[in-house]
Structure 1
Amino acid sequence: MCLSPVNEAAVKVLTEFGTSEWENSVEEFREEFGVLASRLERVRNQDKLPVLLPDGTYLELSQGQHNVIQKAIIEEFLPRHAPGSEVLYLGDTSKKILIRKDEKIKELGLPGIEHDLLPDVIAYNEVNNWLLFIEAVYSSNPISKLRHLNLEEFTKNCKPSPVFVSAFLNRQAFREWCLEISWETEVWLVESPDHLIHFDGSKFFGSYRERR
């Protein structure tokens, strides 16, 4: 049977256990192949998606397109469109809750976050007094008409003004769900981070020349 270089070196270490050469063999193995735990840790870390929160906190999401959108929401959307926001809730596709600030959520007038309709990211912007509900849309669940109505009911006692956002990777992904998007909500595209699509009727109607 042909052994790999790692296995051959490991066999050498094992056969020399209890002899005067064992410590030297262990050291040589570590130098050549690295400590196994460290190597495995690096492999595990390759499956993580690093995310830097607005307050400087570092987190890791599991890999996947859905979490790529969530990462962009945290690192690109919030600094551009709601700078200074505090992330109150952040989930992960692996079903883990990475951030959950229950006390702050209740302080702002929400009954809690045990709710099937809640989107992936909840953030509070104190400057504008907004509570942002942002859904990372990859394969389902944009802020549809029915979902919007349910979220409005859920936030009826909320002290800040709720803002509902559906986030997509690009226009092609958005096009698949365009007919589902509710009025009086926002759409954001990862590929065009400086812009928003307003499903808001006359609220933003007017000439852009007047705003320049």
Structure 2
Amino acid sequence: MKQYISPDKSKSFGQKTPRVQKLINTTLFILDTFGIPLDATPRRLERMAIAFLASGDIKTIADYKNIKDLNSGYALKTREIITYVNHHFGENISSGSCDDIRRKDLKLLTIAEVILQSSPNSATNDSTRGYSINPTYANLIKQYGTKNWAKMVSEKLRNIEPLSKKLKREREIAKVNVTLPSGGELTFSAGEHNDLQKAIIEDFLPRYGYGAEVLYVGDTSDKYLYLEKDKLEELNFFEISHEELPDVIAYSKEKHWLYLIEAVHSSGPINELRLIQLQKLTKICKADIVYVTAFLSRSKFRQFIADIAWETEVWIADNPDHLVHFNGDKFLGPYKS
């Protein structure tokens, strides 16, 4: 069986007895089989597992066969769950952390209805609301350890869409499709920063890129979503693994211009310090450099206008046909000292 948490992954887990460690890992295996997504930190997984165990009055693996559920009338309030895990699993969770139990430790389990609320119609912050194991899942846990248990679970739950699959589908629906100037396509994760990157590629470059080809763009969930490493190296661009990459890099063969573009949602415009940094990093680059800071809206631009460096350009997605040139001697193009 897979070890979902190892002692060296979480300090609190490593301090628990081997018996409790095994119980937690076994519980995570069961939850994984039920379709609960386990892509959280080791500590978050540990907290979810022990909250689940408390909700079923499980202190040892042998207790799986005697798991308590909603039909047995057993339900613990969040404060009682804290007391339970502190006493039985060597925790030291503050009694004032009830909201964390509800909003974090039990969140996925209640969404998936593996754990049910004893009074579902009560207010969210009702201190009398208890949590208990869904009898459907409790019956499956009682049979844990029998031959072909995982296959049996799959058959019993075939009409219930696993939460992990449901969340994955929702993430896919939320993704942002982007068409490159070359006609290729990328898929960004959802978010305003990536909405702006999409606008840069689909709206800014066709207007002001002189046929520019995208050589690099990152995603909030994948720093190297698209990278033309060989082409950047041909231009003597700085080390690709460098942590100071701008958000979008594009190259116009027609103009021999390399566009370094920062997509600003909450921070990161090309200010004087960032400009100096990029100039040093690209000092041996063969192409002339155009520095661009992009914003989604004029209101967002106003928040950062005092920070924008001279000899750079600003583009605003909701006014795509206009550029702001932070110098008066020329329009769009590279500046040379």
- Measured against the shorter chain, the TM-score band is 0.7 to 0.9
Query: How far, CA to CA, are the matches of 2:167 and 2:304 in structure 1?
Result: 40
1:91-126 CA distance string (max 9 Å, x none): 011143111111111100113222233210000011
- The residue identity in structure 2 corresponding to 1:116 is E
Q: 1:52 aligns with which of 171, 179, 185?
A: 179
Greater per-residue strand proportion: 1
C-alpha contact (below 8 Å) 1:142/1:166 kept by paired residues = yes
Q: Deviations over 1:8-48 (max 9, x none)?
A: xxxxxxxxxxxxxxxxxxxxx99xx99xx997765332121
Match of 2:195 among 65, 68, 78: 68
Which of 173, 179, 188 is the matching residue for 2:315? 188
Q: In the alignment, which of 62, 84, 87 is matched to residue 211 of structure 2?
A: 84
Instruction: Detail structure 1 runs of 4+ shifted over 6 Å in the superposition.
Output: 37-41
Alignment of 1:12-161 (within 5 A): 42-161=169-288
CA distance in 2, matches of 1:121, 1:75: 12
Of 75-84 and 111-120, more deviation after overlay is shown by 111-120
Alignment of 1:167 with 2:294, yes or no, is yes
CA distance in 2, matches of 1:156, 1:177: 27
Contact 1:169 1:189 in 2 (8 A): yes
The size of the alignment, in residue pairs, is 180
| Percentage of matched positions with identical amino acids | 50
Task: Name the structure 2 match of 1:10.
Answer: none
Measure the CA separation in 2 of the matches of 1:111 and 1:152: 11
Paired AA for residue 205 in structure 2: L
Mind listing any 5+ residue stretches in structure 1 that lack a counterpart?
2-28, 205-212
Q: Secondary structure at the match of 1:96?
A: strand
How many angstroms apart in 2 are the aligned matches of 1:118 and 1:38?
34
Counterpart amino acid of residue 120 in structure 1: D
2:282 partner letter: T
Gaps of 5+ in 2: 1-69, 71-157, 332-337
Separation of aligned partners in 1, 2:197 and 2:174? 16
* Counterpart Cα distance in 1 of 2:167 and 2:266: 32
Distance in 2, matches of 1:198 and 1:44, equals 38
Partner of 1:25: none
Contact 1:47/1:63 (8 A) holds in 2: yes
Secondary structure of the 1:131 match is strand
How far the C-alpha of 1:202 sits from its partner, in A, is: 1.8
Distance between the aligned counterparts of 1:44 and 1:144, measured in 2?
34
Task: Pick 1 or 2: higher relative contact order, CA cutoff 8 A, min separation 6.
Answer: 1
**Alignment CA distance shift 1:104-1:133 (3 Å):** same
**Maintained 8 Å contact 2:218/2:226:** yes
- The residue type paired with residue 105 of structure 1 is L
Q: Which has the larger radius of gyration?
A: 2
Do 1:88 and 1:123's aligned partners in 2 also have CA atoms closer than 8 Å?
Answer: yes
Cα deviation for residue 201 of structure 1 reads 3.1
The residue number in structure 1 matching 2:137 is none
What is the alpha-carbon distance in structure 1 between the residues aligned to residue 181 and residue 309 of structure 2?
A: 28
What TM-score, normalized by structure 2, do the two folds share?
Answer: 0.49
